[in-house]
Amino acid sequence: MIEVNNLQKEYLEGDTSTLALRGVTFSIAKGEFVSIMGPSGSGKSTLLHILSFLDRPTGGTYKFQDKSIDEMTDKELAHVRNSDMGFVFQSFNLLSRLTVYDNVEIPLLYSDISPSRRKKLVEEAVNSVGLEEKLYTEAGRLSGGQKQRVAIARALVTDPNVIFADEPTGNLDSQSGLQVMEILESLNDKGRTVILVTHETQTAEFADRIIRIKDGIVESDKKITANRIHRDIK
């Protein structure tokens, strides 16, 4: 599903250039739950932004569902982000003045889905994160954990193949963080690919594979089979 080969990203600021990714190579199959870990400045967020089509690489190749990012226009990238990808951010990125319903509906506004079907999809997505009672509450009035659940509902609403989560528990207390991770885990159980960026080992271990990045290259790439078996038994 995802194939990166010698992926590079160079930032230019004036005369100085910074190489955030120095040749990253790996592939992720459909249905995997992958954590990308690394210290600050390791390039893990840059990698996630490229994988999620929010940014373009400056070198190497990236194929998403067998299509190279280089061959796609900005409009096509926007379309793929809308239909095949869901996003969960550390800082939630909700529009606080809008209700939960309106926030979750945002991705649908940019899709071809008819207005009549949207309502059903929004309600299903909000129900799946257990916030049906807050459907018409302003997002600004929710707790941190609830906000992140709304963000997950927004990521889910277009029924994407991949969910990208950038430090989803970073702004949450441990209880809310656990709830959020359990939701992501259940989404993976239903067949969705989940790619998570975190620097917390405990959070990363929810995944069945951990890719460690350091100084812009892959330091290690390990599968945690026990985790998968444990979840299968559960």
Q: Which is nearer to another protein, 154 or 212 (CB)?
A: 154
Q: Which is nearer to another protein, 52 or 148 (CB)?
A: 52
Q: Which is nearer to another protein, 42 or 90 (CB)?
A: 90
- Cα separations (Å) of 14 from 8, 18, 22? 19, 11, 20
SS3 15: coil
Near another protein in 80-99, by CB under 8 A: 81-83, 87, 89, 93, 95, 97-98
Tokens 């926007």, located at residue? 78
Contacts with another protein: how many residues (CB under 8 A)?
26
Least Cβ distance, residue 111 to another protein (angstroms):
7
Burial class of 122 by CB neighbour count within 10 A (0 to 12, 13 to 18, 19+):
buried
Q: Which stretch binds another protein (CB under 8 A): 13-21, 100-108, 122-130, 184-192?
A: 100-108
Q: Which stretch binds another protein (CB under 8 A): 8-16, 46-54, 172-180, 188-196?
A: 46-54
List of residues 6+ apart from 104 with CB closer than 8 A: 122, 125, 126, 150, 153, 154, 157
From 75, 174, 175, 191, residue interacting with another protein (rule: CB under 8 A): 75
Near another protein in 136-155, by CB under 8 A: 154
SS3 111: coil
Q: Which is nearer to another protein, 45 or 210 (CB)?
A: 45
Least Cβ distance, residue 83 to another protein (angstroms):
7
Give the residue among 52, 143, 153 at the shortest CA–CA distance from 106. Answer: 153
Tokens 């997505």, located at residue? 125
Least Cβ distance, residue 49 to another protein (angstroms):
5
Least Cβ distance, residue 47 to another protein (angstroms):
12
Question: Which 8-state DSSP code applies to residue 130?
Answer: T
Is 58 a binder of another protein (CB under 8 A)? Answer: no
Burial class of 98 by CB neighbour count within 10 A (0 to 12, 13 to 18, 19+):
middle
Is 78 a binder of another protein (CB under 8 A)? Answer: yes
Give the residue among 72, 28, 38, 44 at the shortest CA–CA distance from 162. Answer: 28
Tokens 């459909």, located at residue? 30
Is 72 a binder of another protein (CB under 8 A)? Answer: no
Residues that bind another protein (CB under 8 A): 49, 52, 54-55, 74-75, 78-79, 81-83, 87, 89, 93, 95, 97-98, 102, 106-107, 109-111, 115, 154, 158
